[in-house]
């Protein structure tokens, strides 16, 4: 296929996704949530994820937000490609997408729709638009609930320690005033 026609096809796919997104909205329930912002273009995105019962796979990804056609089409294509993928596979796909935007990789047959974004790898400002949703999903997948619980526990510990210290100081005060 001549390069000009191929470029038209890419643009058609992106505009079609932008105008008629298939994965716009919020998952129910929301197991993970992640905002992303690309200041150089003004794109914002809010991803929500529904995970499998075991928490090791993505059942559904949805997105909301405002931005250019590239950022929104990229999110819609990503949401479609990641349905039903294990978290491990999804993180591999994030890596592959980022490599693709450096001109170093592309997707195999089963996810080849994502390759339309390749056309923007030569435009540095557009790379950020295409990568926005992928950076956001990476952050969402890497911020596990376990980490959140651990942080909470650590904060509670710190509070208890502070309270103990306070008690000790109070007792010291009592001793000195007596």
Task: List interacting residues with Zn ion (CB under 5 A).
Answer: 41, 43, 68, 71, 129
Minimal distance, residue 110 CB to Zn ion, in Å: 27
Are the beta carbons of 108 and 93 closer than 8 angstroms?
no
Which position has the token pair 């990503």? 78
Nearer to Zn ion, 60 or 63 (CB): 63
The string of DSSP codes covering 8-63 is: HHHHHHHHHHHHS-SSBS--SS-SEEEEEEETTTTEEEEEEEEE-TTSSBEEEEEE
Nearer to Zn ion, 71 or 111 (CB): 71
Q: Helix, strand, coil proportions of the chain in percent (round to 5)?
A: 60, 15, 25
Minimal distance, residue 43 CB to Zn ion, in Å: 4
Nearer to Zn ion, 71 or 131 (CB): 71
Q: In what order do the strands lie in the sheet with 58-66?
A: 32-38, 43-51, 58-66
Q: How far apart are CA 75 and CA 137, in angstroms?
A: 10
Minimal distance, residue 70 CB to Zn ion, in Å: 5
Nearer to Zn ion, 12 or 40 (CB): 40
Minimal distance, residue 67 CB to Zn ion, in Å: 5
Q: How far apart are CA 148 and CA 31, in angstroms?
A: 13
Nearer to Zn ion, 51 or 72 (CB): 72
Minimal distance, residue 166 CB to Zn ion, in Å: 51
């Amino acid at each position: 296929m001549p390069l000009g026609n191929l470029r038209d096809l890419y643009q058609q796919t992106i505009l079609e996704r932008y105008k008629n997104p298939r994965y716009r909205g919020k998952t129910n329930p929301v197991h993970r949530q992640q905002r992303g912002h690309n200041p150089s273009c003004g794109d914002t995105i809010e991803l929500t994820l529904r995970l499998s019962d075991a928490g090791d796979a993505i059942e559904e990804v949805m997105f909301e937000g405002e931005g250019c056609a590239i950022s929104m089409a990229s999110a819609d294509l990503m949401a479609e490609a990641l349905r039903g993928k294990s978290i491990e596979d999804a993180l591999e796909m994030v890596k592959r997408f980022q490599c693709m935007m450096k001109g170093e990789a592309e997707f195999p047959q089963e996810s080849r729709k994502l390759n339309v974004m390749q056309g923007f790898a030569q435009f540095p400002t557009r790379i950020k638009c295409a990568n926005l949703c992928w950076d956001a999903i990476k952050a969402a997948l890497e911020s596990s609930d376990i980490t959140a619980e651990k942080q909470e526990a650590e904060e509670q510990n710190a509070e208890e320690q502070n309270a103990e210290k306070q008690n000790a100081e109070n007792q010291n005060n009592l001793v000195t005033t007596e």
